């Protein structure tokens, strides 16, 4: 479970997150939606410790993030754009991360098989397609079977088969009582996977709750329309 309290982040004069409070439960997928510059990345990076909040607090499964690094063992992160050292092989990058964590990657083989990545692991990164780099990124994020997953635009660049497999994998995480954050512009993915959504705009939360609640609140049967209505309401 992730508990965010009064999270405030300012870059110079620009307020990226304005006193955000949010609770993300275990066994659920929280979809984070918002236009570019709404604060999605800052929120995710704050949870990961890449951005230092100006004020406020974040705790993961009861452990407050305070600048230490070890809590990240609990998190698997898949970035929007997977970029690796061009001259290394996938297997070498996986080897490095395994050494670094010193933990058993009990999901490694399952994921490599699921995304048919085995033949690609021994090629240099510069020879891999964008989709295969994404798949490598999935393996890195999930091979240690962490309790919390953060996926940033995970299906972008994946072929339909891999995309479907990834979505099935994310669904399976709910049954394993994991906490999942899914940031995406692809609303069909959000609708398919998310139990709850948080709608960010200009660093503020405009809505947080169940997908069905949002539809009921706005009276719109389609998620896309419901979101647009909330955004227009906020702009008015």
Partner 1 sequence: MKQILQFGLFSLKDVSRNMWLLIYTAFFALVTIGLFQFQGHSGKVIVSITSICLVLIPLVSILFGTMHFYNQREFTELMLTQPVKRRTVYTGIYLGLATALVIGFLAGVGFPYLIFGMGGEIEIVSLLVLIVVGTALTLIFLAVSFLIGAIFDDKGKGIAAAISFWLVTAILYDGFILYIATVLSDYPLEKPLLALSMANPIDLARVVLLVQSDIAALMGYTGAVFNRFFGTSLGIAIALLSLTVWIAAPLHWGLARFRKKDF
For position 14 contacting partner 1 by CB under 8 A, the verdict is no
Binding residue (CB under 8 A) for partner 1 from 13, 62, 100, 236? 100
Q: Of the two residues 146 and 227, which places its CB atom closer to partner 1 in the complex?
A: 146
The rounded distance, in Å, linking the Cα atoms of 6 and 103 is: 34
Q: Of the two residues 91 and 220, which places its CB atom closer to partner 1 in the complex?
A: 91
Give the other-Cβ count within 10 Å of 200's Cβ.
25
Binding mask 44-83 toward partner 1 (x if CB under 8 A, else -) reads -x--xxxxx----------------xxxxx-x-x-x-xxx
Q: Please, are residues 70 and 146 in contact by the beta-carbon 8 Å criterion?
A: no
> Residue 229 CB, nearest distance to partner 1 (Å)?
33
Q: Which tokens go with 181?
A: 């954050």
Cα 174 to Cα 101, 142, 148, 190, distances in angstroms: 24, 14, 11, 14
> Residue 136 CB, nearest distance to partner 1 (Å)?
11
The rounded distance, in Å, linking the Cα atoms of 144 and 141 is: 8
> Residue 159 CB, nearest distance to partner 1 (Å)?
22
Report the DSSP beta bridge partners of residue 29.
Answer: 180
Q: Of the two residues 41 and 218, which places its CB atom closer to partner 1 in the complex?
A: 41
């Amino acid at each position: 479970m992730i508990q965010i309290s009064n999270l405030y982040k300012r870059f110079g004069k620009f307020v990226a997150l304005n006193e955000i409070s949010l609770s993300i439960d275990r066994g659920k997928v929280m979809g984070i939606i918002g236009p570019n510059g709404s604060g999605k990345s800052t929120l995710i990076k704050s949870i990961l410790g890449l951005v230092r909040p100006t004020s406020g607090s974040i705790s993961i499964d009861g452990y407050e993030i305070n600048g230490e690094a070890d809590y990240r063992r609990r998190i698997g992160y898949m970035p929007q754009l997977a970029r690796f050292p061009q001259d290394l092989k996938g297997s070498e990058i996986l080897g490095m991360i395994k050494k670094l964590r010193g933990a058993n990657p009990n999901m490694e083989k399952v994921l490599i098989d699921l995304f048919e990545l085995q033949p690609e692991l021994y090629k240099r990164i510069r020879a891999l397609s964008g989709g295969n780099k994404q798949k490598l990124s999935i393996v890195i994020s999930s091979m240690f079977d962490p309790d919390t997953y953060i996926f940033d635009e995970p299906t972008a660049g994946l072929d339909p088969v891999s995309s479907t497999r990834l979505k099935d994998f994310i669904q399976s995480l709910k049954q394993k009582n994991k906490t999942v954050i899914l940031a995406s512009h692809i609303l069909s993915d959000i609708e398919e996977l998310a139990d709850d959504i948080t709608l960010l705009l200009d660093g503020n939360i405009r809505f947080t709750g169940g997908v069905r609640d949002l539809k009921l609140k706005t009276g719109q049967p389609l998620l896309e329309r419901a979101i647009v209505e909330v955004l227009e309401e906020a702009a008015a």
